[in-house]
Structure 1
Amino acid sequence: MNDGAIDYGAVFRALPGMVALLTPDLVFADANKEFLRMSGRRREDVVGRYLFDVFPDNPGDPEATGMRNLEASLRRVLATGERDTMALQRYDVESRPGQWEVRYWSPVNEPVVGPDGTVELLVHRVEEVTELIAARGGPGGSRARVLEAELYTRARELQELNERLRDAHEREREVALALQKAMLPARRQVGLHKVAVRYRPAVGALHVCGDWYDLVDLVGGSRIAVSVGDVVGHGLGAACVMGQLRSALTAASRVAAGPAQALDVLGRFAHVVDGAESATAVTTFIDCDLRTITYSSAGHLPPVLVQPDGRVEFLDRATDPPLDAHPDPRPRPQAGTGFTPGATLALYTDGLVERRREDIDKGVARLAESLVRHREADPEVLADAVLHELLPPEGAGDDTVLIVVRL
């Protein structure tokens, strides 16, 4: 049987478990027969309606948290694009107007990701365990009441622990963001060029990363160095490593003969920095008088050069492994190219172009198309346009750096 012969709508409706589909606005797109049967709802009572209008928390129970916890889980899935398995939840379901029944459900929320990497639907699957709890109670139901209380207490304890962990991660995120802001250079004009810088932290308390950038006026007055890099890992540790690498590259760029030598020095430094494993960087030396760009990359994505007539060049002819890849550091490759006044150079990190279940080359091509489309705009306007076109509306799950230089 081929895929075209399968009625997936019929399969969905016949699934033995409780399954519903939600839009990113948390509106029911569909619900299968088992979901409707176990929840005591008709399809017309559910489809097209907001989840928490259909299933509100019990207004007579000020400690009811089931729906609030469910909303937090769904928001996490929308923000991260990752499955979220919830602890056992107690729900009071309104069986008749003003009458509420205690239910125990174990939900799993799964994203359905579209071609552009954004979450298009949420699969909300529920295991109904209320009857199991009652069955375990035996005659009279006394054991069921004891087990119900135990399960509810453990679920509340687990929920409180998760909330404390999220609070701790959020505090770490705030410290890491403050450290990143203090260590990264301010936006400004460098040399004779207009430069627009955009830095967007990752979405979610657990995903502060170590992306960084650097802008340096080189000796001679007509040359600048523009660099970006990425430290593997998350949180405060990644931010600290980022600061060390950026400072080291700033110093190396001021005295190096070219970008390859600057990255060679940085690679040697990375070998003695804990947490710098597999860190990447790319640096470009721009000479305004000679109208040349010399560049070298340590495992990083290639800068994109767009000439005024729309011709695109990926600066990928001097690519080497990440900074600490060689046990014995060796000289890194270097290449160069020319530019016409009015050209645009863009350096970036993978948060801008990488999407789940998509080849990263597609994201890089999408970036080049956006740069060409807006190449005549001021760098500040161009940078905002690129972010608007490439980043998902709810934000990226990885840090994003974009530097746009008008040459």
Structure 2
Amino acid sequence: MRKPQIDYAAVFRALPGMVALLTPELVYADANDDFLRLARRTREQLLGRYIFDVFPENPNDPAAAGMQETQASMLRVVETGERDTMALIRYDIEDPARPGYWREHYWSPVNAPVLGPDGKVALVVHRVEEVTELIRARGGPVGDEDRARVLEAELYTRARELQDINDRLRQAHAREREVALALQAAMLPAPGPIGPHEAAVRYRPAVGALNVCGDWYDLVDLPGDNLAVAVGDVVGHGLGAACTMGQLRSALSAACRVADGPARALEALGLYARFVEGAEATTVVTTFIDWDSHTVTYSCAGHPPPALVDPEGNVTFLDEATDPPLAARPEHLPRPQARASFTEGSTLVLYTDGLVERRDEDIDTGLARLADSLSRHRHADVEPLSDALLTDLLPAGGSADDTALIVIRL
């Protein structure tokens, strides 16, 4: 079989979501089609120009800090050579067709380095999720039915846009290892700081897979310094499953920011999944952590239950709010939600089925193995604890299924 010829420029232009490349001096080197479309700029208006000459701060908003925060994040990437995930920011953009008129925008940016042969940062990847419409929905109708209609309309529109991008990505046949790894890194960024709390993530593809799969994890900042943590699993492997995963992860991240609980976030995601090819039977669990009340509110869509281990080694599986996977029912129904209390120093673990399921044994055996490992290693920091869980639970030769794992010290 002939080795496929990959047009990397075409792959970059077709990437879902807003992605731009900047020099260490923060000058635009390139931008994909979604960035140009959503930022309302042409390629000629960007390339070779300093980012904040193109997108200055809104002079009519004395409290605006989007430019300062974005600049600080990018310079950290240049200085440290490490990825930097920013909190949700407001950054208004001047309408190029109407000078002096500024459009309100809300962004969720991630900045990542591209190293040159000398090991220094050669480019900064600036990836942005546009969540303006969903943030505005907070100030709209507050009734349950009205809120559902607002979310459904927004997610339906986004589904159509992302489906078109997904089709173009599938046609690219970009199955080389470096492309797969780049996509996976962009879709599953390392967790950013969550205050005094520690978090660790792990991702292991199935044996023989292309180092990319449909498993995902996500951490989303919520009002009051609280946190939403989610893990999901799309059926299948390879770039097709990864593209579907990227759409669902982005949609759930946006829904968590405006929903009043994990069940409502999953209801919105379920409506969205009906219009995404390959999303049927996706499983996902979403948890909202409230540090002040020491509670975890959760909802599961056909997914293995999160595990909560206290400092004494007692393990509780959060399995009181479980429902079928996404798009598995012909009609839309409310999803269940439950709440569990935790003591300081406890640990919350979310994972995909590759960690606990084996074809030749009952799922309860795998859950018991997870509980035993958590109890024995509960005092370890989250990074060594994550490694210990993979060592204890995954076969020595690798698993036949993909595995995503996230560990949060509460």
Are residue 312 (structure 1) and residue 324 (structure 2) matched?
no
| 1:260 aligned partner | 263
Q: Deviations over 1:183-228 (max 9, x none)?
A: 113233324421111111221046843000010110121x100000
RMSD over aligned Cα atoms? 1.8
| 2:232 aligned partner | 229
1:178 is displaced (CA, Å) by: 2.7
Describe the SS at the equivalent of 1:232.
strand
Are residue 180 (structure 1) and residue 170 (structure 2) matched?
no
Match of 1:203 among 193, 204, 207: 207
Q: Which runs of 5+ in 1 are unaligned?
A: 1-168
Are residue 358 (structure 1) and residue 361 (structure 2) matched?
yes
Q: Percent identity?
A: 70
| 2:147 aligned partner | none
| 2:289 aligned partner | 286
Q: Which moved more, 1:180-189 or 1:248-257?
A: 180-189
Do 2:234 and 2:244's aligned partners in 1 also have CA atoms closer than 8 Å?
yes
| Distance across 2 between alignment mates of 1:191 and 1:323 | 32
Q: Which has the larger radius of gyration?
A: 1
* Superposition TM-score, scaled by structure 2 size: 0.56
Q: Deviations over 1:40-92 (max 9, x none)?
A: xxxxxxxxxxxxxxxxxxxxxxxxxxxxxxxxxxxxxxxxxxxxxxxxxxxxx
* Superposition TM-score, scaled by structure 1 size: 0.56
Q: Deviations over 1:210-262 (max 9, x none)?
A: 000010110121x1000000000121110000000000000000111000000
Match of 1:402 among 397, 400, 405: 405
Are residue 219 (structure 1) and residue 223 (structure 2) matched?
yes
Describe the SS at the equivalent of 1:220.
helix
| 1:300 aligned partner | 303
Do 2:282 and 2:326's aligned partners in 1 also have CA atoms closer than 8 Å?
yes
Do 2:284 and 2:302's aligned partners in 1 also have CA atoms closer than 8 Å?
yes
| Distance across 2 between alignment mates of 1:281 and 1:195 | 19
Are residue 242 (structure 1) and residue 245 (structure 2) matched?
yes
Return the letter of the residue paired with 2:313.
Answer: G
Stretches of 4+ aligned residues off by more than 4 angstroms: none
| 2:374 aligned partner | 371
Describe the SS at the equivalent of 1:233.
strand
| Distance across 2 between alignment mates of 1:395 and 1:258 | 36
Do 1:207 and 1:398's aligned partners in 2 also have CA atoms closer than 8 Å?
no
| 2:328 aligned partner | 325
Do 1:173 and 1:235's aligned partners in 2 also have CA atoms closer than 8 Å?
no
- State how 1:132-151 maps to structure 2 within 5 Å: none
Q: Which runs of 5+ in 2 are unaligned?
A: 1-172
| 2:38 aligned partner | none
| Distance across 1 between alignment mates of 2:196 and 2:288 | 14
Return the letter of the residue paired with 1:179.
Answer: L
Work out the number of aligned pairs and report it. 239
Match of 2:387 among 377, 384, 387: 384
1:346 is displaced (CA, Å) by: 0.4
| Distance across 2 between alignment mates of 1:188 and 1:323 | 28
Do 1:207 and 1:234's aligned partners in 2 also have CA atoms closer than 8 Å?
no
Do 2:209 and 2:237's aligned partners in 1 also have CA atoms closer than 8 Å?
no
1:299 is displaced (CA, Å) by: 0.4
